[in-house]
Amino acid sequence: MLVISILKESWYPYFFKLARIWARLILIGMGFKTKIERDQTTDINKSYMFTANHTSMTDIMLMLVAVKNPFVFVGKAELAKIPLLGFFYKRTSILVDRSSAKSRQAVFLRAQKRLKQGLSICIFPEGMVPEEDVDLAEFKDGAFRLAINHQIPIVPLTFADNKKRFSYTFFSGSPGKMRVKMHRFIDTKGLTTEDTKALNKQTRTVILNQLNTYGILKK
């Protein structure tokens, strides 16, 4: 069913619904129970820029479970090499080769096309999972430039437990609760590219403060 749903671009909303079910089953099967807290509810008929801290391979599944609005990921082209997941990822996401200026520019055009289709965008602004002893790396500007260019709200999400539950450290992790906090949206109406850095900092501060509230912040 997943393969059939990606045969046509216009069928993406159906793929998204199936992917959400798949993601929920994967997390349940791994012994993870999700707890999602929302400060504000998204409008299914609007587009948003979803951003979250990046800590684990399970971030992708948890984002699918937490967000009801159909969205496409913007991520590293290398992820397409992951067995099975990569097959779907390269056919349903916007891939970027950060070493190529042409590839980075193409992201804006592909994102614009998806937004015109009524979809949202999801970017992990750290760009990659940070070192094990760093809870939140600096954010890159791409997500915020895109949000400003298309005048769509930023929706920050904080993932509290993914690193603890399923770390990149071999033989670590355990079943348990995965908490998500969907924060109040940050409006971009009227902002220009000159506001990119300030928007970046504002979003990162929201997530950083929530990590501190959870009591897991180390660095």
CA distance 186 to 202: 9
Please report how the helices 59-66 and 12-29 are oriented relative to each other, as an axis angle in degrees rounded to 10.
120
User: Which phi and psi (to 5°) does residue 83 adopt?
Assistant: -55, 140
* Amino acid identity for residue 78 in this structure: E
User: Mean pLDDT, to the nearest integer, of 27-40?
Assistant: 96
The string of pLDDT tens digits covering residues 85-112 is 667 777 778 887 666 667 667 778 888 8
d(CA 141, CA 199): 9
Q: What is the mean pLDDT of the chain?
A: 87
Sequence-distant (≥ 6) Cβ neighbours of residue 12 within 8 angstroms: 5, 6, 70, 72, 92, 117, 119
CA distance 33 to 38: 17
Q: Does 81 score more than 90 pLDDT? A: no
Q: Does position 219 have pLDDT exceeding 60, yes or no?
A: no
